[in-house]
């Protein structure tokens, strides 16, 4: 059967956490756990046909529940950072839990990544899919409004993983959700990702201060900087340049302002199964060793590039492997960081009657 369900573990209060496996014959296998609606594993063939897992994670539930763990998680109510854990909406001051120095990060101490999501359906039809929901109550982590979120993972073709998220609120609030998978296209037991060739459809990025909050300036042009990935470059080719922004992030940890049009040119496989509406190609990554290629298509205005700068060997992942700096990269489609405090940024405001929509497609070839 294309869809399998099993108990992955239990939370301290006895709540059962399930793992659901989605498969396409001759193609991808995706495993998702209901804790944090996390992508726990993604099995993809390389250029020789060998199958390997390409996302960091754990073989058991307990490590996912530790503070600061975001491997594969769905993060929110606000992905990325909000300066000072404060913003104003409709004249009212909102104060959030600060869990990243002076700032709020990824929804706070008990954000969406810390929730046991409810499985609504696990479909084993022509397009295997999993749908989960969660509720964030008014005042949770300081955010106004009760937010109802619905998320689905599906395999529309043997080579594609589609993530779709919708959310509604009964009060004016802010919402910004994303998946926080750590990728290594050579496999989770391979070396670092510094030779992975990355291309991003963005002319500008957001420069940040020492606490990773965007500076009070317009987006910076990438031209002539180590942040220019408009043409493919190895992630590590310029990561040691004496650039103040690389120093502040200990590498890449910056939001790219995505091009509003069609993005990068592509020779990818045609897809008739998907509506040709709001998805555009934002990034492409190629691993020279395995030959795996990942394209990321999204409807979001920003893409956070993170080069695994704070992986320090203190965490043992699958198969007991210790993950160290640059063992993986993240590409997180999202609204820009600190947008609730920046009227010049794309808005994260969600009001009653509106629907927040996030769509991201991962396409794999070799």
- Could you list the beta-strand ranges (E) of 54-158: 73-75, 81-82, 86-89, 92-95, 104-105, 118-123, 129-136, 147-154
Residue 230 φ/ψ, nearest 5 degrees? -65, -25
- Known catalytic residue at 289: no
Report residue 173 as tokens: 């609030």
Cβ–Cβ < 8 Å for 69, 56: no
Rg of the chain over Cα atoms, rounded to whole angstroms, equals 19
Question: At 361, is the secondary structure helix, strand, or coil?
Answer: strand
Cβ–Cβ < 8 Å for 143, 171: no
Alpha helices in 207-303 (DSSP H): 244-249
Smallest Cα–Cα separation from 132: which of 157, 154, 101, 109? 154
Q: Give me the catalytic one of 106, 180, 254, 297.
A: 180
Cβ–Cβ < 8 Å for 248, 231: no
Report residue 134 as tokens: 């969660």
CA 302 – CA 334 distance, rounded (Å): 5
- Known catalytic residue at 180: yes
Buried b (16+ CB within 10 A) or exposed e, 301-311: bbbbbbbbeeb
Phi-psi region of 20 (alpha: psi -120 to 50; beta: other; left: phi over 0): beta
Q: Which H or E run contains 179?
A: strand 178-180
Report residue 115 as tokens: 């929730």
Q: Give me the catalytic one of 140, 160, 286, 332.
A: 332
Between strands 280-286 and 197-200, the pairing is: antiparallel
Name the residue with tokens 């919402």: 175
CA 205 – CA 145 distance, rounded (Å): 31
Q: Catalytic amino acids?
A: 180, 332
């Amino acid at each position: 059967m294309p869809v399998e369900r099993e108990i992955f573990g239990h939370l301290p209060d006895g709540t059962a956490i399930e793992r659901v496996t989605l498969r396409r014959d001759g193609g991808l296998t995706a495993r998702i756990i209901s804790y944090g609606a996390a992508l726990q594993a993604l099995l993809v063939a390389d250029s020789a046909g060998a199958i390997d897992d390409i996302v960091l994670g754990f073989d058991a539930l307990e490590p996912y529940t530790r503070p600061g763990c975001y491997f594969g998680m769905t993060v929110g109510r606000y992905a990325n950072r909000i300066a000072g854990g404060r913003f104003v909406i409709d004249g009212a001051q909102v104060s959030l839990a600060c869990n990243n120095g002076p700032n709020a990060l990824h929804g706070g101490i008990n954000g969406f990544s810390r929730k046991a999501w409810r499985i609504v359906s696990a479909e084993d039809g022509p397009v295997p899919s999993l749908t989960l929901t969660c509720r964030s109550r008014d005042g949770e982590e300081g955010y106004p409004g009760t937010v109802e979120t619905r998320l689905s993972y599906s395999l529309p073709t043997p080579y594609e993983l589609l993530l779709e998220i919708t959310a509604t609120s009964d009060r004016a609030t802010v919402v910004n959700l994303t998946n926080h998978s750590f990728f290594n296209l050579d496999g989770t037991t391979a070396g670092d990702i510094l030779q992975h060739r990355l291309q991003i459809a963005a002319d500008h990025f957001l420069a940040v201060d020492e606490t990773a909050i965007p500076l009070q300036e317009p987006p910076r042009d990438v031209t002539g900087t180590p942040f220019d990935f408009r043409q493919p470059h190895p992630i590590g080719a310029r990561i040691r340049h004496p650039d103040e922004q690389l120093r502040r992030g200990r590498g890449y940890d910056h939001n790219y302002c995505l091009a509003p049009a069609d993005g990068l040119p592509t020779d990818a496989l045609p897809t008739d199964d998907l509506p040709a509406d709001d998805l555009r190609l934002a990034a492409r990554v190629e691993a020279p060793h395995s030959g795996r290629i990942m394209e990321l298509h999204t409807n979001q205005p920003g893409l956070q590039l993170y080069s695994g700068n704070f992986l320090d060997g203190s965490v043992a992942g699958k198969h007991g492997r210790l993950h160290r700096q640059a063992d993986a990269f993240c590409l997180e489609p999202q609204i820009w960081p600190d947008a609730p405090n920046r009227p010049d940024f794309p808005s994260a405001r969600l009001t009653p009657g509106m629907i927040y929509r996030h769509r991201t497609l991962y396409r794999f070839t070799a």
